[in-house]
Amino acid sequence: MSEQAQTARAHWSGRWAFFLVTVGSAVGLGNIWKFPYMTGSNGGSAFVLVYLCCILGIGVPLLMAESMLGRRGQGSPVGSMRVLADEAGATRLWQVIGYIGIVGAFLILSFYSVVAGWVLDYTWQAAEGFKALPKEAFAEAFGALLASPGRLIFWHTVFMAMSALVVLGGVTGGIERANKIMMPALFGILVFLVGYGAVAADLPAAWRFLFHFDPSAINRSVLFAAMGHAFFTLSLGMGAIITYGSYLERDVSIPRTGLAIAGADTLVALLAGLAIFSIVFAQGLEPAAGPGLILQTLPLAFSQMPGGHAVGLLFFVLVVFAAWTSAISLLEPGVSLLNERFDMGRKQAVVVLCSGVWLLGIAVALSFNDWSGFTLFGLGLFDFLDTLTTKIMMPLAGLLIALFAGWTMKRAHVFDEIRMGSRVFVLWYNVVRYLSPVAIVIIFLNVVGVIG
């Protein structure tokens, strides 16, 4: 790392800023698109219960570990790991954590942006107002979007341009500023939608569906789905948290902020679930509709409900904000690496990175239509990238992070960064040393089909 890059390292304006940007990264399509449909397809409350345990038992400890690595390393995910490996007297091969994260973030963004593009397309439709049509027409409309390379590529391009624009503004002038506007707005809209659910839809039914715990519905597939989702939703193992942590001042408490971030992320997922299922149940729709839940089911509801036009538009704006603040956190790790390694200015780094993601995203968009015959390991490009990143690369990076923080770093250095009461520290430390690695290995074995 050049000395200049090191001394010029930017910092968030305070703990509130770090909290907001990291919640911005964590709260995304994972919370509003994926969590509700996964809950819907995995037995409702059983999934919620396991998911909450995973967030608390694996997610929060790893989120704290990642923030710690970034703050102590003061570099990109790769640079930070090099500094920390040297400090611990360990091999520089640990830099692989940074590389997996950055490559993972690149690959994730290529399909995340295409999905965000669907949401932009629906936001446009919501602005015009969804027409009241029979149920099948909404499924057909979604199918028509997937079958249209032009529309998919257009909205993917718009979304990448929006994300690039924010990251170009820099750490405080771009990322922090965007989050300070969008996150409170997102929260406000969400609370309004839950209120709407209480007044105009069926909030009690949604509440029962999410919180009426029935432990007998917990099975192995619910368990694995919940664990994988805990990683995705907290943006773990993709370099984002290390990078955001590297801009964090030393006086901010990592445990306290980490807990608050995971709490806010979970709250948003649950509120989104309440808002969405209130509408789904009030309209007598199917909660287990799968990935199309918010795109096929909700527009049908919006076309029939009182005030559906305005509520529908607000809902899709909320999803756009969520996706946008997450996408920028996937760009920043790569930008910081290009800056550190190749002395590229922010502008050049953003252009190089975004062009690469954009090109791969075009291939992803085409995988739904013209190139649908092309498969890798039996999967279309979209599913292949999703599986590779969320089921393999992120847990692998998570495992290595737990091993590095728990076993390789000097305990005194870890303690120095985490700085919490010694009993709580010992608890956290043991979770990172034992529980997290074992849990992740179990997910892995399930994914490769050894068990499950």
Q: Of 25 and 110, which CB lies nearer to ligand LEU in the complex structure?
A: 25
Binding mask 111-140 for ligand LEU (x = CB under 6 A): -x----------------------------
Helix (H, G, I), strand (E, B) or coil at 302: helix
Smallest gap, in angstroms, from Cβ of residue 229 to ligand LEU? 9
Closest CA to 39 of 198, 387, 275: 275
Smallest gap, in angstroms, from Cβ of residue 27 to ligand LEU? 6
Give the binding range for ligand LEU (CB under 6 A) out of 24-32, 83-91, 209-217, 358-366: 24-32
* 163 lies in the site for ligand LEU, by CB under 6 A: no
Which of 24, 28, 79, 437 is close enough to bind ligand LEU by CB under 6 A?
28
* 297 lies in the site for ligand LEU, by CB under 6 A: no
Q: Of 22 and 95, which CB lies nearer to ligand LEU in the complex structure?
A: 22
Q: Of 246 and 283, which CB lies nearer to ligand LEU in the complex structure?
A: 246
Smallest gap, in angstroms, from Cβ of residue 238 to ligand LEU? 6
Q: Of 120 and 330, which CB lies nearer to ligand LEU in the complex structure?
A: 330
The four Cα atoms 422, 425, 426, 429 give a dihedral, to 10 degrees, of -160
- Residue 152 CB partners (closer than 8 Å, separation 6+): 114, 117, 118, 145, 146, 365, 368, 369
Which of 108, 178, 203, 282 is close enough to bind ligand LEU by CB under 6 A?
108
Determine the Cα–Cα distance for residues 28 and 219; give it in Å rounded to an integer. Answer: 27
Smallest gap, in angstroms, from Cβ of residue 33 to ligand LEU? 8
Which of 39, 76, 123, 235 is close enough to bind ligand LEU by CB under 6 A?
235
The H-assigned helical ranges of 8-56 are: 15-26, 29, 35-41, 45-54
* 25 lies in the site for ligand LEU, by CB under 6 A: yes
Determine the Cα–Cα distance for residues 383 and 114; give it in Å rounded to an integer. Answer: 13
Smallest gap, in angstroms, from Cβ of residue 30 to ligand LEU? 2
Judge whether 336 and 75 are in contact, CB under 8 Å.
yes
Q: Of 182 and 300, which CB lies nearer to ligand LEU in the complex structure?
A: 182
* Residues composing the chain: 452
Radius of gyration of the chain (CA): 21
* 31 lies in the site for ligand LEU, by CB under 6 A: yes
Helix (H, G, I), strand (E, B) or coil at 379: strand
* 398 lies in the site for ligand LEU, by CB under 6 A: no
Cα 332 from chain centre: 14
* 64 lies in the site for ligand LEU, by CB under 6 A: no
* 232 lies in the site for ligand LEU, by CB under 6 A: yes
Helix (H, G, I), strand (E, B) or coil at 75: coil
Q: Of 31 and 303, which CB lies nearer to ligand LEU in the complex structure?
A: 31
Q: Exposed, middle or buried, 251 (CB in 10 Å: 0-12/13-18/19+)?
A: exposed
Q: Residues 303 to 342: which contact ligand LEU by CB under 6 A?
A: 326, 329-330
Give the binding range for ligand LEU (CB under 6 A) out of 25-33, 164-172, 311-319, 348-356: 25-33
Closest CA to 28 of 263, 274, 319, 298: 319
Determine the Cα–Cα distance for residues 177 and 333; give it in Å rounded to an integer. Answer: 18
The two three-digit tokens of residue 325, written as one number: 């603040």
Query: Which residues here bind ligand LEU, judged by CB under 6 A?
Result: 25-26, 28-31, 108, 112, 232-233, 235, 326, 329-330
